[in-house]
Structure 1
Amino acid sequence: MGCCASKEASLGGKVAKWRTTGIIGLRDSNLKALPTIVLELGAAVRTLDATSNKLVKIPAEIECLVSLQRLMLAENLLESIPSTIGLLQSLKVLTLDGNKLLSIPQEVGLLVRLERLSLSGNFLSSLPDTIGSLRNLVLLDVSHNQLKHLPASLGSCFALEEVVGNANMIEELPATLCNLARLKSLILDGNKLVKLPVHLFRDCKSLQTLSLHATPITIEQLQEMDDYALFEARRRKKIDKRIDTNVLMNAGYFDEGVDRK
């Protein structure tokens, strides 16, 4: 019996539970490929967690999991994502951190119910323009990649509350970022940014956290921007709220978000 066959045989006792709960947990299972039984369960699967394995490929047949809401494949060896990922119309969470991805297919824009997209720690040099179709996206984490820019279409992700893009090579942000009225947190440490969109503080009315450490931007630049005072008031209100509710504070909460030159 081959290695893969023996692994699938050992899963026999779990399949009934998977079918009943819709939750497939395969973390740290030393898998090089998804067991075929996972795909055969089809519409019964709502969560698939295969974090920390040795997966080198997601089969195109992943499209069979039409009820899948959470797909977690972080810490594997994936170099690409099949275009059929776009057929997972129920997907709300997609986690692909710590792989070897060079690109993301345009079809990711078809995931209209997606709320959380995490791509940290890959080798991405760009994001597909279709990302702007993700109108329910709340969190986007693209930190620790090789991005030089964020797509202008990101400004159409009107539900976005948090963008994490630290440790890239981003030189400039699209002006359309100002469309994100619900954006609360923008983390861009360790990039090549020299300026921000002019009306960021005016139009991003919910922005409370801005982190730009290890970038050329100075606190003086921020203070000269339109409506910086409004942003600062929101930031301090967040800090005061934490203090009022006796939440344990650390020095980071009082951080201005940029390095003092």
Structure 2
Amino acid sequence: MGNSGLKQHIETAQKTGVLKVSQGKLNEFPPGFKQLESSLRTLDISDNKFVTLPNEISRFMQLRHLNLSKNRLSKIPDCIGALTKLETLNASYNNLSTLPRTISNLINLKQVNLTDNHIKDFPLMFCGLKHLDVLDLTKNEITSIPPEVSGLNVTELNLNQNQVAHISGQIADCPRLKTLRLEENCLQLSAIPPRILADSRISNFSIDGNLFESKQLASIAGYDSYMERYTAVKKKMF
């Protein structure tokens, strides 16, 4: 993207509050970005060459939507915690292995996409965020779901294509969790806590591609309760 093209994008963003500069070969914020600090609501810098997210991101205090996907990010700075109005965060297809604890300050987050990174530990900084509906952690390197996950308020948690071999039964205490996706992981049948089936609100539990046949789930105590929830949801859809 040339300077003239970028200038035009910035001028438009001053009027609309939306700036999309994807596929621009950017690895830092151009000086013109500074003009948008007080007005920008949507920033899309996907498909660029950012290795680190500039600290200047913290100045965009009005941001609601931030798309960082398809870069080379190995780190998100602590100062992202200043973006307290942020509702959607997309950092998929990067090189992230950890996330800053300050994400717990993003009290208005609704949707987070972290697909295809290198995250190894379940990101507990999302627990306690009251408005978070969807957390997508597909294609990471997570091996375990810890007891603290009970503080997660999402309705959908996607952990497909990780390395999960252990699940804490306390995931059943997630107050709003209805869809749990764990396809293509490393789960044995014995690793499935009966509480997920018997005591949770989960009505869509996807576990194809693990170390047992999906139909074997029926042998776990609480399966009938799960099927009642599953069927009730299906009936509402038709």
TM-score (norm 2): 0.90
2:62 aligns with 67
User: Is 1:56–2:41 an aligned residue pair?
Assistant: no
2:163 aligns with 169
For the 8 Å contact 1:164–1:188, the answer to whether it is kept is yes
What is the CA distance between 1:229 and its match in structure 2? Answer: 1.4
For the 8 Å contact 1:135–1:156, the answer to whether it is kept is no
1:45 aligns with 40
2:199 aligns with 203
For the 8 Å contact 1:110–1:133, the answer to whether it is kept is no
User: Is 1:108–2:106 an aligned residue pair?
Assistant: no
What is the CA distance between 1:111 and its match in structure 2? Answer: 1.1
CA–CA distance in structure 2, aligned partners of residues 131 and 151 of structure 1: 13
For the 8 Å contact 1:134–1:157, the answer to whether it is kept is yes
For the 8 Å contact 2:172–2:195, the answer to whether it is kept is yes
CA–CA distance in structure 1, aligned partners of residues 74 and 34 of structure 2: 20
Matches within 5 A, 1:79-118: 79-118=74-113
For the 8 Å contact 1:202–1:230, the answer to whether it is kept is yes
TM-score (norm 1): 0.82
Unaligned residue ranges in structure 1 (runs of 5+): 1-5, 245-261
What is the CA distance between 1:173 and its match in structure 2? Answer: 1.3
What is the CA distance between 1:241 and its match in structure 2? Answer: 4.5
CA–CA distance in structure 2, aligned partners of residues 40 and 116 of structure 1: 27
What is the CA distance between 1:219 and its match in structure 2? Answer: 4.2
What is the CA distance between 1:80 and its match in structure 2? Answer: 0.7
For the 8 Å contact 1:148–1:170, the answer to whether it is kept is yes
What is the CA distance between 1:183 and its match in structure 2? Answer: 1.5
* Alignment partner of 2:183 out of 175, 181, 189: 189
Relative to structure 1, the CA distance from residue 24 to residue 92 in structure 2 (aligned partners, 3 Å threshold; closer, same or farther) is same
CA–CA distance in structure 2, aligned partners of residues 36 and 168 of structure 1: 39
2:127 aligns with 132
2:30 aligns with 35
Q: Which SS does the other structure have where 2:112 is aligned?
A: strand
For the 8 Å contact 1:131–1:153, the answer to whether it is kept is no
CA–CA distance in structure 1, aligned partners of residues 31 and 170 of structure 2: 43
1:119 aligns with 114
Relative to structure 1, the CA distance from residue 180 to residue 39 in structure 2 (aligned partners, 3 Å threshold; closer, same or farther) is farther
What is the CA distance between 1:62 and its match in structure 2? Answer: 0.6
Q: What amino acid does structure 1 have at the position aligned with 2:22?
A: R
For the 8 Å contact 1:120–1:145, the answer to whether it is kept is yes
CA–CA distance in structure 2, aligned partners of residues 169 and 229 of structure 1: 28
What is the CA distance between 1:51 and its match in structure 2? Answer: 1.6
Unaligned residue ranges in structure 2 (runs of 5+): none
